[in-house]
A and B are shown apart, each in its own frame.
Chain A
Amino acid sequence: MASILEVENLKTYFHTEYGLVKAADGVSFHIDQGEIVGLVGESGCGKSVSILSIMQLIQSPGEIVDGKVIFDGQNLLQYKANGPEMRAIRGSKMTMIFQEPMTSLNPVLTIARQLTETLELHLAMDKQAALERAIELLKMVGVPDPASRVDDYPHQFSGGMRQRVMIAMALSCNPKIIYADEPTTAVDVTTQAQLLELMKELVTQHNASLVIVTHNLGVVARYAQRIYVMYSGRIIESGLSEDIFEHPQHPYTIGLLNSVPKLGERHGARKLIPIEGIPPNLIDMPPTCAFLPRCTSKIDKCLKEPWPALRSVGGQHYISCYADIKGK
């Protein structure tokens, strides 16, 4: 399958008063057409920043300092963030579903206006056609009674319904890639199941690619075909979903999987094995591996050499680690 997006050596730094924060420090990944990919990591690992950089939504004091974002054969980073080329792509060919449906919808505009705006702008529809399409979209994402609900304001919708509106908006211009940034963190688990099933179904129907950005390992295990695991601004392991969950090889991924309780494990059957220590402060990072202070598998080389580059451990499975660790 052909790659629809290729990100190469993306570096996004934030110039803060405390020092330089390398939020994304050489991130490379690719997304194939029609694929569901998971981008996993804890808060502050740079997963959202990477996505926002691709969309060129990084604001001062943040700055994309290096890298390439090849989408549809063109490097998006050659365009200005607010230039006509980026604006034609953002919200149309590449769209985003944000975490907080409460704050990412405009509270003073009706749902109709927020949906028709993109349609009129990107697809040059007239008002009537856009409104009809908006109602159609709401119906598609399962908002009951869409013809009358379309005139409501966001506060009249529940959290789950608002997230459905966000999904409708993201799909409205037949995008090629949808980024979902913690799409279900703010909703309950039964609503989460509804929304994820809906997204999967719609993305498959539209032959679009979906990137799920999340800290929830269960969600990526269920929906993603391929997974990238991030730690302190870099991708430290990537591979097919089975590779990552059945044969994790990076000490961080192994640690993460051992530290979460699994549903169905007998009470008292296993003590959780936490990863000791805390995620690193991203200011003034040492050149060595960022996971080193918490790592239990470190070897001499780790202390001397700079952060290891990704290396293949078979097939599409890559890790950024000097140590050789054999599966679980």
Chain B
Amino acid sequence: METSNNSTMVEVTDLKMYFPITRGLFRKKVGDIKAIDGISFTIKKHETLGLVGESGCGKTTAGRCILRLYNPTSGSIIFNGEDISKAKESKIKNLRRNMGVIFQDPFGSLNPRQIAGNIVGDPLKVHKMAAGKDLRDKVADLFKLVGLDPGMMDRVPHEFSGGQRQRIGVARALACSPSLIICDEPISALDVSIQAQIINLLEELQEKLGLTYLFIAHDLAVVQHISDRVAVMYLGRIMELTDSTELYENPLHPYTKALLSAIPIPDPIAERTRTRIILKGEVPSPIMPPPGCHFHPRCSMAIPECANTRPPLRDVGNGHLVACIRV
């Protein structure tokens, strides 16, 4: 793992996030949901790191830990040179000025009773960065930045289409001029023909404002398109992390291979010659994850040793990280 330096914005080391399962009157703890079970990665300045995996793999939890919407169980999160994993509430508010978040559901993440201008301007008010006429001007600028007509500032969310609502979400995330934006499935609730509009907007904004993205999604094609590097997660752990082109051209982890082959591509001629790895069974429960490598019960390459030791995420050359003892 590379060391923290000027080019690194976020460095996550051995991060764990366990949610307790309680039972009975006295809420006695009976177990843990191991949503994230020791993950390490870095996000460089001005890059997009993609985080992919199937539902329940912990990708959203990872994003929320960085935003400190959760208090991580253990591990460190270094953001701009400072460990924020144990930062106090008072400090967190300051911290979030530098982080924006775009949520998946543009219908559920905007208050239906607020006008769009207030939704976008609220972060500026909370951080006392603007007020009065200045606030309105800044919000108008944000509207223009994301391709919305500032004349629509006084409308409520239901008057906007899905794509426009997601633009409001993007404008809100940008309000305090953050350096890092966590994009949590920002396009999966949108229509196919609208998705490209939002992807292009995110790319343009990154170029214009020098933003850094953590792009969380389950659609590997989209993640590969937008990300410089991609981390593949499975059941709370990172299985493989590498350059996005390398991940497709030279996937090493058996899970990555299966995931790639499972995704149908819109090209019938290529489809005919593609080999498909159909995984058996389903993702086990994060309450009782399998011992050793979490993927071994479904893995075609597994050997007895896979059930005993957790494979470390190791560099196999050129920063291609993979957690598998058979590679």
Contact = CB atoms under 8 A, between A and B. Distances in A.
Contact of A267 (B55, B191, B244): B244
Interface of B: 54-55, 161, 163, 191-197, 199-200, 203, 218, 220-222, 224-228, 243-245, 248-249, 258-269, 271, 276, 278-279, 282-283
Contacts of B191: 42-43, 215, 279
A304 interface: no
A88 B55 CA distance: 39
Given A190-B258, A274-B197, A267 B228 contact: yes
Interface string A146-162: 00000000000010110
Contacts of A221: 264-268, 271
A216 B219 CA distance: 11
A265 B249 CA distance: 10
B199 A190 contact: no
Contacts of B248: 263-264
A260 B196 contact: yes
What's the dominant secondary structure at chain B's contact region?
Answer: helix
Contacts of B218: 188-189
A283 interface: no
Given A221-B264, A264-B248, 11 more contacts: A189-B220, A193-B262, A193-B279, A216-B264, A218-B263, A218-B264, A222-B265, A222-B271, A261-B222, A261-B225, A265-B224
B262 A263 contact: no
A218 to B, nearest CB: 3
Interface string A241-280: 1100110000000011101111111110001111110110
18 contacts: A189-B54, A193-B262, A221-B266, A223-B264, A245-B266, A245-B269, A263-B221, A264-B224, A264-B249, A267-B226, A267-B227, A267-B244, A267-B245, A272-B200, A274-B200, A275-B193, A278-B163, A278-B194
Contacts of B271: 221-222
A215 B219 CA distance: 14
Nearest to A266: B245
Contacts of B221: 218, 260-263
B268 A242 contact: yes
Which of B226, B265, B269: most chain A CB closer than 10 A? B265
A255 B191 CA distance: 13
Contacts of A222: 264-265, 268, 271
Given A245-B267, A267-B245, A271-B203, A261 B282 contact: no
B318 to A, nearest CB: 15
Interface residues of A, number: 47
Contact of A261 (B55, B199, B269): B199
A138 B200 CA distance: 45
Contacts of B258: 190
A197 B271 CA distance: 13
A158 B244 CA distance: 32
A219 interface: yes
A192 interface: yes
B196 A259 contact: yes
Contacts of B196: 259-260, 272-275
Interface in A142-177: 158, 160-161
A193 B193 contact: no
Contact of B192 (A190, A246, A259, A276): A259
Contacts of A261: 199, 221-222, 224-226
Contacts of B264: 193, 196, 216, 218-219, 221-223
A267 B199 CA distance: 13
Contact of B266 (A257, A271, A273, A274): A257
Contacts of B283: 188
B146 to A, nearest CB: 14
A281 B91 CA distance: 47
A192 B262 contact: yes
A260 B266 contact: yes
Contacts of B266: 217-218, 220-221, 245, 257, 260, 262
A222 B268 CA distance: 6
Contacts of B259: 189-190
Nearest to B161: A278
A42 B192 contact: yes
Contacts of A257: 266
Nearest to B52: A189
Given A217-B192, A260-B195, A263-B221, A189 B276 contact: no
Contacts of B197: 274, 276
A218 B219 CA distance: 12
Nearest to B221: A263
A153 to B, nearest CB: 18
Nearest to A273: B196
A193 B276 contact: yes
B234 to A, nearest CB: 10
A291 to B, nearest CB: 10
Task: Please indicate which of the listed interface residues A160, A242, A262 has the most CB atoms of chain B within 10 Å of its own CB.
Answer: A262
Contacts of B268: 221-222, 241-242, 245-246
A16 interface: no
Nearest to B54: A188
A191 interface: yes
Contacts of B244: 267
A194 interface: yes
Nearest to B260: A263
A279 B226 CA distance: 25
A262 B282 CA distance: 26
Interface string A191-226: 111101100000000000000000111111111000
A260 B228 contact: no
B265 A263 contact: yes
Interface centre among A245, A263, A276 (most CB of B within 10 A): A263
Contacts of A259: 192-193, 195-196
Given A189-B262, A191-B282, A260-B221, A272 B267 contact: no
A265 B220 CA distance: 11
Nearest to B245: A266
